[in-house]
Amino acid sequence: MHPLVSATSATAVSVLVIGVMLLLLALPFWRGSARAAVAEVHPMHCSGCRRCVADCPYDAITMVPHPQRRGFALAEVDADACASCGICVGSCPSSTPFRSMATLVTGIDLPQQPIDDLRRAMRERLAAMTAPIRIVVFGCDQSAAVREVDSDDVAAFSFTCTGQLPPSFVEYALRDGASGVLVCTCPESGCAFRLGERWTAERLAGIRAPVLRSSVEETRWELVACAGYNLTPLRTALAALRRRLDVRGSSK
């Protein structure tokens, strides 16, 4: 402080200190850029199963009486606590593709990245691919940039968190023309949203609902953890999956 006082005055330095202190006190109340939209509940498609409540890392979801169905419960999102991670979307049993409806409306969804948009984008991309081996890669914006591996035979899709991915979408991709599926998560205990990588691994392993059905061939999908901008584990897993699928195709 002394050089500043000598260069200016005690009054000027006092004003500067008070101004900086007020700025620091105001920081917790300043949101800066527009906040991502929070999870949105669709009452007609919420079964009241409480899976989103159990899986939310921020305790941002509670159950309230359903306004349209007597005796049923409805998920309710606390906008102040929601981190917009989408983990609740991956936990919702309504996020399954095994439904005949033209538009997939799940019980809880992210308005900025609806699960139906993914279903349509994946279907269109696979329909346009002509390579003999076609691989779908699912990842998240917080881990390795999976779009870097997008190519003629690889269709990459990135979520806010991999925990947003319904496990059934692995089977859906295979049914819709993919030869294999690679799911990329953050490293263990390294999820930006606390539990996304853990819940994803447990859902795919069949130990946490909703689970990937056991009828899906294990040789046709792979789970890999990648940290930050390190694409090496992703490229290595992708090459291994491609070789495995090539051997599988040759043996038929």
pLDDT over 90 percentage in the chain: 75
Digit-coded pLDDT (tens) for 130-175: 999 999 999 999 888 999 999 999 999 999 999 999 999 999 999 9
- Angle among Cα 80, 139, 35 to the nearest 5 degrees reads 25
Q: Which residue has 């200016």 as its token pair?
A: 8
187 vs 172: CA distance, rounded Å: 25
Nearest to 203 by CA among 91, 119, 61: 91
Name the more confident of 27 and 208: 208
pLDDT at residue 1, rounded to an integer = 79
Confidence (pTM) = 0.84
Digit-coded pLDDT (tens) for 74-126: 999 999 999 999 999 999 998 876 655 578 889 999 999 999 999 999 999 99
pLDDT at 66 over 90: yes
Sign of the Cα pseudo-torsion (86, 191, 165, 210, in order): negative
Are the CB atoms for 146 and 69 separated by under 8 Å?
no
